[in-house]
C-alpha cells in the first residue's frame, strides 16, 4: 500500500496582494491602503480612469507649516487622494434632484463626473485639521482628463439649461460646496478588507431624503 | 400674542442652571431669537408625569451665552435677587396681594363668560337638532298620511306637540342661564393666581450687583454659535447620541437636518466615530455634522474669534 502524499502548494496570493507587492517593489510611494482602496473602486465599484494624487507637498514654497502635522506615526498613510469616474452618480443634492425632475432629466442623462476619494484605514487617527487640509488641497489637484464621448439622447436643450443652472449653484453653493468620498478600509484584527464610503461635504449641506 | 418682554430678559441662574420663568420671555426668544430651550416644569404632586412639561424653561449654557452676547438677556443671581423680599414694605406687600386678587377676579370673569358662551352654544345646537328632528318626523308622517289616505287626526296632533315641547325645553334654560353669566363673581370666588415670576413685587431691572458675568461654555460653543447665527435651531442631542440636533426652522415645523458633534482642531477623531455618526444620521434621514473652530482657546482672547474660525463638514453614507 503506497502512501500518496500531496505536496500542499502555498496558496497563490490574491490579486490585491500582488498589486500591492508589485507597487512596493517598484518603489511606488503610495501606501497599501491607497492601493487597496483604488483596487476596490476599480473592481467592485467599476470606477474608471482612476488616478492617485499626492497632496503632501505644500503648494506654496513660503508656507513652511506642515499641512499634516499629525502624520508622524509609521502606520499613517501618506496624504494622497484618489480620483476616478464612477459609473453612476455618487451624490445628488436634494435641490439639484428637484431641479432635474422639473427639467425631466435623469441621472443617467448627465455626463459622468470625476469624484475624489480620501483613502483611510480603520484605527487611523483623524482630525478636523487633516480633513480641512484635504479639502484645501483638493482645489490644487489637476486630474488628467480624457475627453469623453457625449451621448445624444435628445435632451441637449435641457442639459444645457441644467449645466448653466449648476454653474450658478456652484457659485452660491446652494447645491453644496466641495465634496469628497471618505473611504475607510477595515484592516484591523480579522479585518476582511471591507471598504466603506461616506460623502463628506464642506459646510452645512442639508441631507438627502433617502 | 405679541407681548414684548422688557429687554434685557433676566435669565435666572439657580444652582448651576439657567432658567426662564416668564412665558412672555420664552415665546419671545423662540419667535425672535431661535432659542427653544427645554421645558422642565412638572406638577409637584405628579412628578412622574414628564410627557407634557411646563415652565420653567432650562437653557443650555450655550443658549444663555448667545443671548447675553446679543444683548437680549442678562444673567441674574436669583438667590441674591430674592434678598430684596425681606426688605419689602408692608404697603408694597398689601398692594401686591390686592393686585393678585384683582387678577384672580379677572380670570374668574373670563372663565365664567366662556362657560356661559359654551352653554348657550350647546343649547342652541340642541334646539336646532330637536327642531330638525321634529321637522323630519312631521314630513315623514305627512308622507305616510299621503300614502295611507285613511288617517286619524290624533296622529297628526302628536308631532306638533313634540315640537312644542322641545321648543319650550330649549328656551327655558337659555333664559335661566342669562343671570348666571351676568352675575359678577365676588372676592370669595376669585381664582388663586400663582405668578411664575417674582417681579413684581421685586423691581424688574435687577440691580447690577445681582448680575453675573457671561455663562461659562463648553468647548463646543463656537460650533453652536456658528450654527445658531446661520438660523438653525439647536437642541440638546442626547436622544440622537450627539452634542446638538440642528433644525432648519422651528422644531415644531421642521425635521432636523443634522446631528452635530464638535471637536477641537487637533483633537484626535476615531474614524469609527465618523462611521457611527454617518450611519446613524443616514438611518434617521439626517446628516452628521462634524465641525469646530480652527483656533484653540489659547490662541485667542475671546470666544467670538473662535466662532469666526469655525469650519464644519457634513457627512452622509454614500450607499456604496
Identify whether B255 is a catalytic site residue.
yes
Provide, as residue numbers in chain B, all residues whose Cβ is less than 8 Å from the Cβ of A70: 266, 268
Identify the contact set of chain B against chain A, taking CB-CB distances under 8 A: 227, 230, 232, 246, 248, 257-258, 263-272, 274-275, 278, 281-282, 285-287, 289-292, 294, 311-320
**Does residue A19 lie within any of the structural domains?**
no
Picking from B270, B271, B289 by the largest number of A CB atoms within 10 A of its own CB, the best residue to mutate is B271
Q: How far apart, in whole angstroms, are the C-alpha atoms of residue A29 and residue B277?
A: 32
Please tell me whether residues B84 and B100 are part of one structural domain. no
Cβ-proximal residues to A138 (8 Å cutoff; 6+ apart), any chain: A55, A81, A116, A178, A180
Give the mean model confidence (pLDDT) for residues A131-159: 74
**Chain A residue with the nearest C-alpha to that of B283:** A210
> What is chain A's mean pLDDT, rounded?
77
Does A90 sit within 8 Å of B315, measured CB to CB? Answer: no
Q: How far apart, in whole angstroms, are the C-alpha atoms of residue B308 and residue B222?
A: 8
**Does residue B30 lie within any of the structural domains?**
yes
> Would you place residue A210 in the very low, low, confident or very high pLDDT band (cuts 50, 70, 90)?
low
Does B318 sit within 8 Å of A206, measured CB to CB? Answer: no
Does B290 sit within 8 Å of A127, measured CB to CB? Answer: no
Give the mean model confidence (pLDDT) for residues B99-126: 91
**Chain B residue with the nearest C-alpha to that of A196:** B320
Q: What is the CA radius of gyration of chain A?
A: 21
Q: How far apart, in whole angstroms, are the C-alpha atoms of residue B76 and residue B235?
A: 23
Does B278 sit within 8 Å of A90, measured CB to CB? Answer: no
Does A120 sit within 8 Å of B317, measured CB to CB? Answer: no
Please tell me whether residues B114 and B47 are part of one structural domain. no
Please tell me whether residues B122 and B269 are part of one structural domain. no
- Asked which of A31-40, B111-120, B169-178 is least confident by mean pLDDT, the reply is B169-178
**Does residue B196 lie within any of the structural domains?**
no
Structural domain boundaries, residue B12: 1-88+202-217
Nearest CA of chain B to the CA of A100: how many Å?
A: 20
**DSSP-derived 3-state class of residue B76:** strand
Please tell me whether residues B167 and B224 are part of one structural domain. no
Number of other CB atoms surrounding residue A65 within 10 Å: 6
Does B318 sit within 8 Å of A91, measured CB to CB? Answer: yes
Q: Are A126 and B274 in contact (CB under 8 A)?
A: yes
**Does residue B194 lie within any of the structural domains?**
no
Q: What is the tally of structural domains in chain A?
A: 1
pLDDT of amino acid A125: 84
**Does residue A207 lie within any of the structural domains?**
no
Nearest-CB residue to B289 (from A70, A129, A204) = A204
Q: What is the pLDDT of residues B226-256, one digit of tens each?
A: 999 999 999 998 888 899 999 999 999 999 9
Does A126 sit within 8 Å of B292, measured CB to CB? Answer: no
**Does residue B58 lie within any of the structural domains?**
yes
pLDDT of amino acid A153: 65
Please tell me whether residues B176 and B246 are part of one structural domain. no
Nearest-CB residue to A129 (from B266, B312, B316) = B266
Provide, as residue numbers in chain A, all residues whose Cβ is less than 8 Å from the Cβ of B311: 128, 132, 202
Please tell me whether residues B94 and B240 are part of one structural domain. no
**Chain A residue with the nearest C-alpha to that of B292:** A128
Tell me, rounded to whole angstroms, the distance of Cα B133 from its chain centroid: 44
**Does residue A22 lie within any of the structural domains?**
no
Tell me, rounded to whole angstroms, the distance of Cα A9 from its chain centroid: 37
**Does residue B134 lie within any of the structural domains?**
yes
Q: What is the pLDDT of residues A49-93, one digit of tens each?
A: 888 888 765 444 344 444 444 444 434 445 788 989 998 888 888
The CATH number assigned to the domain holding B46 equals: 3.40.1170.20
Top-ranked range on mean pLDDT: pick from B80-94, B119-133, B293-307: B119-133
pLDDT of amino acid B34: 92
Please give the interface size between A and B, counted as residue pairs whose CB atoms are below 8 Å apart.
Answer: 110
**Does residue B197 lie within any of the structural domains?**
no
Nearest CA of chain A to the CA of B103: how many Å?
A: 48
Please tell me whether residues B112 and B234 are part of one structural domain. no
**Does residue A9 lie within any of the structural domains?**
no
Tell me, rounded to whole angstroms, the distance of Cα A192 from its chain centroid: 20
In B7-89, alpha helices (H) = 23-33, 61-70, 78-81
477623531: which residue's cell? B269
Please tell me whether residues B96 and B51 are part of one structural domain. no
Does A198 sit within 8 Å of B316, measured CB to CB? Answer: yes
Please tell me whether residues B51 and B135 are part of one structural domain. no
Q: What is the tally of structural domains in chain B?
A: 3
Nearest-CB residue to B312 (from A203, A206, A208) = A203
Please tell me whether residues B213 and B259 are part of one structural domain. no
Give the mean model confidence (pLDDT) for residues A132-155: 72
Nearest CA among B220, B291, B138 for reference residue A205:
B291
Tell me, rounded to whole angstroms, the distance of Cα A55 from its chain centroid: 14
Q: What is the pLDDT of residues B248-280, one digit of tens each?
A: 999 999 999 999 999 999 999 998 899 999 999
The CATH number assigned to the domain holding B302 equals: 3.40.1350.10
Please tell me whether residues B120 and B164 are part of one structural domain. yes
Q: Check residues B244 and A27 and name the one with the higher pLDDT.
A: B244
Please tell me whether residues B128 and B155 are part of one structural domain. yes
Structural domain boundaries, residue A75: 33-58+71-92+111-145+177-201
Identify whether B226 is a catalytic site residue.
no
Give the mean model confidence (pLDDT) for residues B163-169: 47
Whether complex ipTM tops 0.90: no
> Would you place residue B205 in the very low, low, confident or very high pLDDT band (cuts 50, 70, 90)?
low
**Chain A residue with the nearest C-alpha to that of B313:** A202
Does B315 sit within 8 Å of A200, measured CB to CB? Answer: yes
**Does residue A51 lie within any of the structural domains?**
yes
The active-site residue, picked from B226, B228, B257, B286, is B286
In Å, how far are A35, B30, B64 from B74, measured between CA atoms? 57, 17, 8
Provide, as residue numbers in chain A, all residues whose Cβ is less than 8 Å from the Cβ of B292: 128
Task: Say yes or no to pLDDT of B90 above 90.
Answer: no
Identify whether B96 is a catalytic site residue.
no
**Does residue A158 lie within any of the structural domains?**
no
Task: Say yes or no to pLDDT of B298 above 70.
Answer: yes
pLDDT of amino acid A73: 41
The CATH number assigned to the domain holding A130 equals: 3.40.1350.10
Amino acid at each position: 500500500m503506497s502512501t500518496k502524499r500531496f505536496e500542499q502548494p502555498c496558496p497563490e496570493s490574491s490579486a490585491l496582494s500582488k498589486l500591492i507587492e508589485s507597487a512596493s517593489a517598484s518603489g511606488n510611494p503610495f501606501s497599501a491602503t491607497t492601493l487597496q482602496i483604488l483596487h476596490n473602486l476599480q473592481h467592485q465599484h467599476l470606477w474608471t480612469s482612476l488616478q492617485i494624487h499626492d497632496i503632501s507637498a505644500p503648494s506654496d514654497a513660503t508656507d513652511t507649516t506642515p499641512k499634516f502635522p499629525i502624520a508622524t506615526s509609521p502606520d499613517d498613510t501618506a496624504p494622497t487622494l484618489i480620483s476616478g469616474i464612477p459609473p453612476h452618480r455618487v451624490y445628488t443634492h436634494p435641490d439639484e434632484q428637484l431641479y432635474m425632475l422639473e427639467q425631466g432629466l435623469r441621472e443617467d442623462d448627465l455626463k459622468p463626473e470625476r469624484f475624489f476619494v480620501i483613502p483611510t484605514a480603520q484605527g487611523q487617527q483623524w482630525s478636523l485639521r487633516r480633513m480641512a487640509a484635504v479639502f484645501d488641497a483638493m482645489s490644487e489637484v489637476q486630474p488628467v482628463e480624457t475627453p469623453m464621448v457625449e451621448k445624444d439622447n435628445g435632451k441637449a436643450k435641457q442639459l444645457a439649461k441644467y449645466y448653466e443652472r449648476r454653474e450658478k449653484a456652484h457659485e452660491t453653493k446652494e447645491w453644496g460646496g466641495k465634496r469628497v468620498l471618505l473611504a475607510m478600509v477595515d484592516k484591523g484584527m480579522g479585518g476582511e478588507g471591507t471598504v466603506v464610503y461616506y460623502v463628506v461635504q464642506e459646510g452645512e449641506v442639508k441631507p438627502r431624503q433617502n | 400674542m405679541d407681548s414684548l418682554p422688557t429687554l434685557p430678559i433676566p435669565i435666572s441662574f439657580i444652582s448651576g442652571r439657567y432658567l426662564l420663568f416668564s412665558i412672555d420671555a420664552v415665546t419671545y426668544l423662540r419667535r425672535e431669537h431661535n432659542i427653544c430651550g427645554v421645558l422642565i416644569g412638572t406638577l409637584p404632586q405628579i412628578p412622574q408625569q414628564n410627557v407634557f412639561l411646563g415652565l420653567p424653561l432650562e437653557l443650555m449654557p450655550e443658549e444663555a451665552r448667545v443671548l447675553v452676547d446679543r444683548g437680549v438677556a442678562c444673567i441674574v443671581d436669583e438667590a441674591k435677587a430674592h434678598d430684596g423680599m425681606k426688605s419689602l414694605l408692608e404697603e408694597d406687600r398689601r398692594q401686591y396681594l390686592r393686585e393678585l386678587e384683582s387678577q384672580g377676579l379677572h380670570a374668574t370673569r373670563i372663565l365664567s363668560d366662556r362657560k356661559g358662551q359654551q352653554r348657550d352654544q350647546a343649547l342652541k345646537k340642541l334646539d336646532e337638532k330637536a327642531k330638525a328632528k321634529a321637522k323630519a318626523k312631521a314630513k315623514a308622517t305627512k308622507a305616510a298620511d299621503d300614502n295611507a289616505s285613511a288617517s286619524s287626526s290624533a296622529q297628526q296632533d302628536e308631532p306638533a306637540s313634540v315640537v312644542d315641547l322641545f321648543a319650550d325645553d330649549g328656551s327655558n334654560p337659555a333664559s335661566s342661564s342669562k343671570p348666571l353669566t351676568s352675575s359678577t363673581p365676588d372676592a370669595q370666588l376669585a381664582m388663586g393666581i400663582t405668578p411664575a415670576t417674582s417681579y413684581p413685587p421685586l423691581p424688574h431691572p435687577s440691580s447690577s450687583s445681582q448680575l453675573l458675568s457671561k455663562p461659562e461654555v463648553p468647548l463646543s460653543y463656537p460650533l453652536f454659535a456658528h450654527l445658531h447665527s446661520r438660523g438653525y435651531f439647536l437642541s440638546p442631542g442626547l436622544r440622537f447620541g450627539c452634542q446638538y440636533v440642528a433644525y432648519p426652522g422651528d422644531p415644531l415645523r421642521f425635521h432636523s437636518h443634522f446631528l452635530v458633534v464638535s471637536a477641537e482642531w487637533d483633537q484626535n477623531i476615531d474614524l469609527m466615530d465618523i462611521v457611527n455618526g454617518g450611519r446613524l444620521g443616514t438611518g434617521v434621514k439626517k446628516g452628521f455634522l462634524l465641525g469646530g473652530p480652527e483656533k484653540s482657546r489659547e490662541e485667542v482672547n475671546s470666544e467670538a474669534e473662535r466662532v469666526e474660525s469655525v469650519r464644519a463638514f457634513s457627512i452622509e453614507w454614500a450607499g456604496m
